[in-house]
Amino acid sequence: MIDRTTLAMAGIVICAGLYMSGGIDTGLTEKWQQLSFTPEIPEAQHVYYAPCIAIDGDTLRCDSRRVRLLGIDAAELPGHCHPNRQCAPGDPHAQADALRIYANTGPLAITVLEQDRYGRDVAIVESERDGIAQCYMIRQGASYVAKWDKRGYIGRKCGVTG
């Protein structure tokens, strides 16, 4: 059985190889401008496009930046849920695997809204193939948290309340 680290590294190597060989369409900016939330969110700081890997079920590493999915709380890996916090339900490994699969679709569009207290970009993340990462993760069992959803964009786009 292949462990999760080996699987994640294989995804990175495959994406890097595809990118270097021209197998990934690097001209996606124009296509993603049609998807991008930027015109709808005037407070967006900026948008960038990058290959990403999943750290857990609600955080990505995109180039050298850590990106937290706006409005999403995935189940915590064992030992990561602080005793005074009510953590999201579900299987943390399944949710992390789901975000890994999503991230392996190629470069992602990251619309940054702010930085959190840990220095992560809090963002809306999109892929051309699978759409909005937050909607994808909700379908995979991650929790939607309305109070973390700046102006309710994710709730409206994904058709959820909470």
pLDDT, one tens digit per residue, over 77-126 is: 777 777 787 778 888 899 999 999 999 988 899 999 999 999 999 999 99
pLDDT at residue 113, rounded to an integer: 93
Mean pLDDT of the chain: 80
Instruction: Give the mean pLDDT of 126-151.
Output: 93
Q: What residue type is 152 in one-letter code?
A: G
Cβ pair 72, 140 in contact under 8 A = no
Tell me the domains of the chain and their CATH numbers.
Answer: 4-158 (2.40.50.90)
Q: What residue type is 71 in one-letter code?
A: G
Instruction: Give the mean pLDDT of 124-145.
Output: 94
Cβ pair 54, 60 in contact under 8 A = yes
Q: What percent of the chain has pLDDT over 70?
A: 73
Q: What residue type is 81 in one-letter code?
A: C
Q: Is the pLDDT of residue 17 over 50?
A: no
Q: What residue type is 157 in one-letter code?
A: K
pTM: 0.73
